[in-house]
């Protein structure tokens, strides 16, 4: 029996060594030359595509993949959602990098861009998107900036959006308050929210998520920018400037002094409450259009309220990230597919069909866009026009995700009256600094 | 030689039986455990190349106020949950071991919440306890009590989460006690009755001592359940309001999967593992020494 246990020990030791190898991220491809150099468009290739979609959108993705394969018989596309929930894709990708078995193309939230670039597995697409055939300038500026990490393009926009002010007309009529306009100031917003609030009927003027995730954090950025503030200065936190403190103090006054703001602990309740007529206004984006229609809400959309006439908003674009497998044919074929998918001919049948805004400005003349605007009136046209107000991108740096967690947590404290705006933002900046400088 | 071959063959037969299960345990438990330990000595966001830190993550634990807050919340929860789930389960089990009509129906009713997944329980409960729109406040209003904030009040949230956990877990403790009560010593009870003992004295001097081994086991089991509470917190409060319901496991989740600090998250997970291990071994040693055969 003894030698068997010795055998077992030896296997155990070998196994621990194997595990030790896992975190060393072995097998990073050679990124010194272009991943698609020497691409042969006729070579047979098999590509894996993680769509990050569910239900109807996933079915449509599979249909489009079939269509592409019919036109390119040498390409086989393995299409899957990649993860049960889009937010879990990053964890799945991280596991896939460790095992070396990662996809060719995957959906990714814009905030992940810097981390994915840092993995060493993402293709450098800078020259590829520079090709006039790609018409890179047609994508919204914030979306292009999100795909660019330290001057290197690592993905192509997959979904574009922005925040506007959505309001429930019925609640405004009941309270006798005029509808929001595109020239509203934040004071107009605050006084309207106060008038709409009616504790006896459980009606709130507006709502804000205090779950402390990115949903909490990014709603603060447009207020900060409108006051001339910046999120980062180089790689140092700058959101705790006077502009940031004033922006957060404004939200605090509504939540704590006026009590006109419903604070959602989970970030999953405030939209349903808006749909059911318990919240008068929400700062949200085009992803609500489908539910607004399904719930038959009588609503309107305006630009975000502004400060000194500046009504800029924030955009949260998502990306298709392409990965390098040290095989020029796979790299070239995945580029060709993504160019096709995001082209102005195919994108209307993809994004517009599933209720998203068009990726490219040039799609506005298509028949699909006219249809889309009609189906999702009045929101669709307004959110499309609101792109003009999306002037700055969220920073594409490693450590943004960690920083966002700290900022979100501190915003939650302030809105629940547990901390002053200045001290809270300073605390978030202090915690975030090491993550931003060290990655 | 023949004898040696026999030993070898027997060894191999043994491994043939134990092998598949061993591989499963190694692959699904030991592998992640070892890997998590290696990760806990690095700074890693899950994607970039991990940076070795030595024991820095473990040292960081000592001076992390948020960790100690989550430890405090976990201990409050455990202190509320373990005794009440055991007393509640015992009471329900003794009640259900009586000869009553429709007893099978009552037993099923008590057990059903345990079968429901705690994620579903949490989502349901977050509607019931919603301060603005929930039925719990409606009930309070009808009986003339002031409305409460429940899950949105930092002072009430742990009690409410404990109540929700009890709703799901009492069925489990009750069933375990019930199993033990099925084979209670009838002769002892009869003897006590002959000697003139009342129902309460039989309960206190015969039935409750009979339940002692089960109770030791339940204490360990429910303590581990309370220490590892996660899904209820995730579905009801996400650790809020103001981090007042962040338990240790929820804190680990937040560190690893929200702020993407896998290294520090793994170190905290190891800390929890060590504490759980010490508690379990301590209880086993205690029960052996005091001759309660729970393990």
In chain A, where the domains are located: 45-161+316-382, 164-314+399-438
pLDDT tens digits for range A218-240: 999 999 999 999 999 989 999 99
pLDDT of residue A5: 46
Q: Which residue is associated with the tokens 């070579």?
A: A43
Residue of A19, A266, A401 with shortest CB distance to B31: A19
CATH fold label, A164-314+399-438:
D-Maltodextrin-Binding Protein; domain 2 (3.40.190)
CATH fold label, A45-161+316-382:
D-Maltodextrin-Binding Protein; domain 2 (3.40.190)
In whole angstroms, what is the distance from residue A98 CA to residue A102 CA?
A: 9
A405 touches B: beta carbon within 8 Å? yes
- Full-model pTM: 0.80
Q: Do residue B242 and residue A416 have CB atoms under 8 angstroms apart?
A: yes
A-B CB pairs within 8 A amount to 95
Output the average pLDDT for chain B. 88
In whole angstroms, what is the distance from residue B259 CA to residue A179 CA?
A: 39
Taking residues B36-40, report their average pLDDT: 93
pLDDT of residue A27: 65
In whole angstroms, what is the distance from residue A205 CA to residue A194 CA?
A: 6
pLDDT tens digits for range A249-268: 999 999 999 999 999 987 78
H/E element holding A49? Answer: strand A45-50
For residue B111, is pLDDT > 80?
A: yes
For residue A292, is pLDDT > 90?
A: yes
- Strand bridging mode A164-168 / A299-302: antiparallel
pLDDT of residue B73: 95
Contacts of B132 in chain A (CB under 8 A): 202, 262, 278
For residue B156, is pLDDT > 70?
A: yes
Q: Do residue B260 and residue A266 have CB atoms under 8 angstroms apart?
A: no
pLDDT of residue B184: 76
Alpha helix (H) ranges present in B135-247? 135-142, 157-182, 186-194, 199-202, 208-210, 212-227, 231-236
CATH fold label, B74-289:
MetI-like fold (1.10.3720)
In whole angstroms, what is the distance from residue A76 CA to residue A68 CA?
A: 9
Contacts of A15 in chain B (CB under 8 A): 26, 31, 34
For residue B32, is pLDDT > 70?
A: yes
Alpha helix (H) ranges present in chain B? 2-25, 31-39, 56-62, 65-96, 103-115, 118-128, 135-142, 157-182, 186-194, 199-202, 208-210, 212-227, 231-236, 248-253, 262-289
pLDDT tens digits for range B211-266: 888 998 899 899 989 988 999 999 888 887 888 999 999 999 989 888 888 999 99
Contacts of A398 in chain B (CB under 8 A): 45, 48
């Amino acid at each position: 029996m003894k030698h068997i246990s010795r055998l077992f020990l030896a296997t155990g030791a070998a196994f621990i060594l194997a595990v030790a190898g896992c975190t060393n991220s072995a097998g990073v491809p050679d990124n010194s030359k272009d991943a698609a150099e020497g691409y042969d468009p006729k070579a047979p290739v098999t590509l894996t595509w993680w769509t990050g979609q569910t239900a109807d959108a996933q079915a449509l993705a599979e249909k489009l993949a079939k269509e592409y394969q019919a036109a390119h018989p040498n390409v086989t596309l393995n299409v899957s959602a990649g993860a049960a929930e889009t937010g879990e894709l990053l964890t799945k990708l991280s596991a896939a990098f460790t095992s070396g078995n990662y996809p060719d193309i995957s959906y990714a939230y814009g905030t992940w861009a810097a981390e994915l670039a840092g993995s060493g597995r993402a293709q450098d697409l800078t020259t590829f998107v520079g090709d006039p055939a790609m018409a890179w300038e047609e994508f919204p500026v914030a979306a292009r900036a999100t795909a660019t990490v330290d001057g290197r393009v690592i993905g192509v926009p997959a979904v574009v959006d922005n925040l506007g002010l959505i309001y429930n007309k019925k609640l405004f009529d009941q309270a006798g308050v005029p509808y929001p306009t595109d020239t509203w100031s934040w004071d107009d917003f605050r006084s309207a929210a106060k008038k709409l609030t009616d504790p006896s009927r459980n009606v709130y003027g507006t709502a804000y998520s205090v779950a402390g995730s990115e949903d909490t954090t990014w709603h603060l950025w447009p207020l900060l920018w409108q006051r001339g503030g910046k999120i980062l200065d180089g790689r140092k936190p700058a959101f705790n400037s006077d502009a940031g403190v004033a922006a957060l103090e404004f939200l605090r006054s509504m939540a704590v002094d006026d009590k006109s703001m419903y604070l959602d602990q989970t970030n999953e309740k405030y939209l349903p409450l808006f749909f059911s007529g318990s919240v008068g206004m929400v700062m949200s984006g085009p992803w609500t259009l489908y539910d607004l229609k399904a719930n038959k809400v009588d609503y309107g959309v305006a630009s975000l309220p502004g400060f000194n006439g500046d009504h800029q908003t924030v955009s949260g674009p998502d990306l298709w990230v392409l990965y390098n497998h040290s095989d020029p044919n796979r790299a070239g074929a995945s580029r060709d597919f993504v160019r096709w998918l995001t082209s102005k001919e195919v994108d209307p049948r993809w994004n517009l069909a599933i209720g998203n805004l068009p990726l490219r400005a040039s799609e506005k003349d298509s028949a699909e866009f006219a249809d889309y605007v009609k189906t999702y009136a009045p929101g669709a046209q307004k959110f499309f026009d609101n792109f003009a107000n999306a002037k700055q991108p969220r920073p594409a740096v490693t450590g943004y995700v960690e920083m966002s967690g700290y900022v979100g947590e501190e915003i939650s404290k302030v809105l629940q009256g547990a901390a002053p705006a200045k001290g809270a933002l300073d605390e978030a900046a202090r915690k975030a600094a090491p993550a931003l400088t060290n990655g | 030689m023949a004898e040696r071959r026999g030993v070898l063959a027997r060894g191999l037969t043994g491994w043939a039986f134990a092998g598949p299960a061993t591989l499963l345990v190694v692959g699904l438990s030991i592998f992640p455990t070892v890997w998590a330990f290696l990760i806990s000595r690095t700074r890693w966001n899950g994607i970039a190349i991990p940076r070795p830190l030595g024991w820095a993550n473990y040292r960081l634990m000592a001076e992390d106020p948020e960790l100690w807050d989550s430890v405090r919340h976990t201990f409050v929860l455990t202190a509320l949950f373990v005794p009440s789930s055991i007393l509640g389960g015992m009471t329900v089990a003794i009640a259900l071991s009586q000869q009553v009509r429709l007893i099978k129906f009552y037993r099923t009713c008590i057990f059903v919440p345990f079968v429901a997944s705690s994620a579903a329980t949490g989502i349901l409960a977050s509607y019931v306890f919603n301060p603005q729109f929930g039925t719990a406040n409606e009930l309070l209003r009808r009986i003339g009590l002031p409305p409460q904030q429940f899950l949105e009040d930092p002072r009430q949230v742990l009690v409410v989460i404990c109540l929700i956990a009890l709703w799901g877990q009492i069925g489990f403790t009750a069933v375990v006690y019930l199993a033990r009560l099925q084979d209670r010593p009838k002769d002892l009870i009869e003897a006590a009755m002959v000697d003139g003992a009342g129902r309460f004295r039989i309960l206190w001097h015969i039935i409750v001592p009979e339940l002692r081994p089960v109770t030791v086991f339940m204490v360990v089991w429910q303590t581990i359940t309370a220490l590892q509470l996660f899904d209820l917190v995730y579905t009801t409060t996400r650790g809020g309001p103001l981090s007042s319901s962040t338990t240790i496991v929820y804190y680990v989740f937040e560190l690893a999967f929200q702020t993407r600090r896998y290294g520090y998250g793994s170190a905290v997970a190891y800390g929890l593992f060590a504490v759980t291990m010490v508690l379990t071994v301590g209880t086993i040693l205690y029960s052996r020494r005091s001759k309660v055969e729970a393990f």
